[in-house]
Amino acid sequence: MSKIKVLMVASEVGPFAKTGGLADVTAVLPGVLNQHQCEVRVIMPLYRRIKQRYEDQLKFIRWTMVKMGWRSMYSGLFSFRTGGVTYYFIDNEYYFGHDKIYLEYSFDIERFCFFQRAVLDALGEPMDFEPDIIHCHDWQTGLIPCLLEAHYFPYGYHRHVKTVYTIHNLKYQGIHGVERIADLCDMPARFLTEYGILKDGVPNLMKAGIVYSQAVTTVSPSYAEEILTPYYGEGLDGVLRSFSYKLTGIMNGIDRDLYNPQTDRNIPLNYDLTNWAKGKAAAKKALLKRVNLPSDGKLPLIGMVSRLVDQKGLDLLLRIIDELLAYGCQMVILGTGDEFYANQLQMVAQRHPELLAPCIYFDSQLANKIYAAADLFLMPSLFEPCGLSQMIAMRYGTLPIVRETGGLRDSVTPYNKYDGSGNGFSFANINAHELLYTTKAAIDLWKERSTNPAWNTLIENAMTADFGWDNAAEEYLKVYKKVLGTQKEIPVD
Ligand code: GLC
């Protein structure tokens, strides 16, 4: 059977550019799908850091001018093959010659409008690859299905190409004024309606992806259900409900090579199921020393590796953190984000210098040390499309405490004290005291660990849970096959 040719398009792809989980997913999924009847190639912007880092390895393919309203913008196309995957990069100094991936809101809209048009311009002959499917991720690529219908299909180009759109986080939608989008994208009027890309009178790139793609996926089955409700729908639940026939929730996996306590060089002693107690004890001692917290072995250590934004439930934590620390535990929190949360955590640390270490920066090596060293891992998210940290923590034998939402609900089975089953702890409502009581119960179980085998069993269950990518790959393959079987009416201009 011939392979399904897929072009993945994203604003972040690990290891080239990363701010969050999107990059983790786009880093691994192409390679995995390539082992499942697909030939996947990837295209992304050539941000300054990628240019600097991979300068000698990037292969220049061609340059052209991309039309955007009254402007014509230079667009370079480069490629680079690594790990069995071909990557393409769109070059434009004005848009992508910056250290950061995301800049100012309105400029980002323009940057990613350019990117999407440049991607479609490079399709086929220039990149020597005509995909069967374009797989788009998040709002930065949401217009691609619509742009195909606007500028290519009516003129006989790429008419067989189908599109799949994956929502990693519905909250960020890419919303901007009608005139601007019409101008930047030369968008014909027939798309600028509430049936098309407009939501409440303004273009919404996330909505465009949902409306014009042939299949929509999101990153866990529970989130796929939640976003059909007003509470989680971010204003798009109505749109999603009317297109729910093409929505599937596919749980992400984690990179089991990158996150492997048996081989991880960031921890003092590698471990597996047979010697985790020793390995984790060594990791804990080393981490506490590194973050300047005293270690006497009497307190459990709670870890958190998170963007510091409200989605992650930091308000719940701040409400009860003094009481929690006073109950008897230490905490290490690593992440960057809102200044407000960073300041609040620093203030808590001033009150409890021996108990809390806030590390307000990003350091992936320190992250791995925390995954290994902690006894418990906190993720009280208000919503969580999938969440990767809870799965990584479990692989390192660190028990997650999560709110039952989205992918957290789908990956963590709460401890059942009657039959001892489970691989973590969870609570149902957005309620600080539910978080507090659940965490206290987890601490109590930790304290009993020399007499009650439940704790060790939970750790072993967590470490052996299957969070690989094979299942997801099979599911994506099903979506691809379904989409390739669909017929589409192509409007003629
Ligand atoms: C986004 C979501 C997160 C998910 C990740 C990868 O960052 O917030 O829950 O794990 O995308 O899909």
Binding site membership of 14 for ligand 1 (Cβ less than 6 Å): no
Q: Distance between CA 149 and CA 11 in Å, rounded?
A: 22
Q: Distance between CA 190 and CA 186 in Å, rounded?
A: 12
Q: Distance between CA 406 and CA 383 in Å, rounded?
A: 6
**Identity of residue 52:** Q
Averaged over 210-237, what is the pLDDT?
98
Helix (H) / strand (E) containing 383: none
Cα 321 from chain centroid (whole Å): 27
Averaged over 337-360, what is the pLDDT?
98
pLDDT digits (tens, 9 = 90+) for 361-420: 989 999 999 999 999 999 999 999 999 999 999 999 999 999 999 999 999 999 999 999
Least confident of 1-5, 57-61, 365-369: 1-5
pLDDT digits (tens, 9 = 90+) for 445-484: 999 999 999 999 999 999 999 999 999 999 999 999 999 9
Instruction: Report residue 343's pLDDT band, with 50, 70 and 90 as the boundaries.
Output: very high
> What is the CATH code for 276-466?
3.40.50.2000
Within the chain, all domains assigned CATH 3.40.50.2000 are found at 4-253+471-484, 276-466
Binding site membership of 22 for ligand 1 (Cβ less than 6 Å): yes
Q: Which residue out of 170, 219, 254, 390 has the highest number of ligand 1 atoms within 8 Å of its CB and is therefore the one to mutate?
A: 219
Please check the confidence at residue 493 and state whether its pLDDT lies above 60. Answer: no
Q: Any bridge partners for residue 55, and if so which?
A: none
Q: Are 380 and 425 in contact (CB under 8 A)?
A: no
- Please spell the DSSP secondary structure of 114-171, one letter per residue: HHHHHHHHHTBTTTTB--SEEEEESGGGTTHHHHHHHHTGGGTSSTT-EEEEEES-TT
Q: Distance between CA 108 and CA 106 in Å, rounded?
A: 5
Please check the confidence at residue 491 and state whether its pLDDT lies above 70. Answer: no
- SS3 per residue for 174-235: CECCHHHHHHHHCCCHHHCCCCCCEECCEEEHHHHHHHHCCEEEECCHHHHHHCCCCCCCCC
Closest ligand 1 atom to residue 24 Cα is 6
Distance from Cα 387 to the centre of ligand 1, integer Å: 5
What are the CA-CA distances from residue 390 to residues 173, 342, 427, 486 (Å)? 25, 21, 14, 37
Domain 4-253+471-484 belongs to what topology?
Rossmann fold (3.40.50)
Handedness of CA 416, 422, 425, 430 (dihedral sign): negative
SS3 428: coil
Q: Report pLDDT for 1.
A: 66
Q: Distance between CA 241 and CA 229 in Å, rounded?
A: 8
Q: Report pLDDT for 2.
A: 87
Residue nearest to ligand 1 atom 10, measured at CA = 387
When computed from its CA atoms, the radius of gyration of the chain, rounded to whole angstroms, is 24
Over the chain, what is the mean pLDDT? 96
Instruction: Report residue 113's pLDDT band, with 50, 70 and 90 as the boundaries.
Output: very high
pTM of the full predicted structure?
Answer: 0.94
Q: Any bridge partners for residue 357, and if so which?
A: 332
pLDDT digits (tens, 9 = 90+) for 159-213: 999 999 999 999 999 999 999 999 999 999 999 999 999 999 999 999 999 999 9
Handedness of CA 46, 51, 54, 55 (dihedral sign): positive
